Structure 1
């Protein structure tokens, strides 16, 4: 079994911000599956179990803030008995240009507090990540402010297609494995 978790902050205030691209992508995957995310008190997440091909998948978003997302992710993994090796985390990435999508297993957190929290609570960095590029803030804007702002109008135009491409990449990981999915995603 796999758990696919989209990182972000809870609440309407953050719903359309760059930091919540993980939540947005989980919404696309949930819609594709025909499922509905429901509050899951035991794990402090919104989650749904679905089938993607032969795999049983838990799609989830954390109900906690980004910096403390590790606790709910660990509870989700424990509740559903999912090995951290089968965790896929979708997150925003300042170090990639807007619209760039990258898959990888493990690595550093690149200053991303959500990843730091997950690594701390799971005790491993070897989970799979889908990095969604949001680019660097313009001028001297503080990165912390930038990630909490909505996408620009130009970015919003491209966002739906990018979210669909990200959902395709997650489905590819589950259907053909990380190596082949990475090759397919990175060759486009």
Structure 2
């Protein structure tokens, strides 16, 4: 099994979006960049905030969610990173706050960031780390829901799920995804 070389956090740039549910991917990558001593800096050729620790590349696209694929494809091409060496961290409506799940491949489930990455890479065969944010209950409320900050108890649950995900990152980075999946799926439900 390939090891992960690129971890992409999805979100929207700027202070207006920083605390919104849609930025859960950014939250994890911010913490991971500190853990890995890989500060994120603006990198124009990748349309992103970008950091590197050895063979690990960290990315927060600054293109807004719907154009995330442009940034992911730019880094993947430049460093010759294969889709199965990419982990995309994103908010997930279909999981409750506090849940976190790994997944390889699949569709976009209506997530515009995933849709654009899938299109830009030309394949669904990349890893995802789905961070549960819950669902507002009605499809018509989804856009408003993801662009608002979570309630305090939801934020606490999301933060715990991110902590659990960070705990298994050594296994992820070593290419031991099945072990990381088993541990995370047991802890972050």
TM-score normalized with structure 1 length? 0.92
Asked if structure 2 preserves the Cα contact closer than 8 Å seen for 1:2 and 1:58, the reply is: yes
CA distance in 1, matches of 2:133, 2:34: 23
Say which SS state the counterpart of residue 13 (structure 1) adopts.
Answer: coil
Verify the 8 A CA contact 2:20 2:146 in the aligned structure 1: yes
> C-alpha distance in 2, partners of 1:186/1:153?
23
State which drifts further: 27-36 or 3-12. Answer: 27-36
Cα distance, 1:76 vs structure 2? 1.2
Counterpart in 1 of 2:46? Answer: 43
**1:22-43 deviations in Å (ceiling 9; x for gaps):** 0000011011112210111111
Q: In the TM superposition, what is the alpha-carbon distance from 1:187 to its structure 2 partner?
A: 2.1
Trace 1:41-120 onto structure 2 (pairs within 5 A).
Answer: 41-51=44-54, 56-120=55-119
Residue-by-residue CA offset, 1:73-106 (whole Å, 9 max, x unaligned): 1001112221111010000000111111000100
1:43–1:79: 8 Å Cα contact kept in structure 2? no
Correspondence for 2:170: 171
Unaligned runs of 5+ in 1: none
Kept after mapping to 1: 8 A contact 2:5/2:86: yes
Q: Residue 168 of structure 2 aligns to a residue in which SS?
A: helix
Partner Cα separation in structure 1 for residue 168 and residue 121 of structure 2: 24
Residues 132 and 158 of structure 2 are in contact (CA less than 8 Å); yes or no, is this contact kept in structure 1? Answer: no
Give the superposition deviation at 1:184.
1.4
What TM-score do you get using the length of structure 2 for normalisation? 0.91
Q: What is the alpha-carbon distance in structure 1 between the residues aligned to residue 80 and residue 58 of structure 2?
A: 14
Cα separation, 2, equivalents of 1:158 and 1:45: 28
Root-mean-square deviation (Å):
1.6
Q: Give the count of matched residue pairs.
A: 184
How far is 1:60 from its partner?
A: 0.9
Q: SS state of the match for residue 90, structure 2? A: strand
Structure 2 residue runs without a partner (length 5+): none
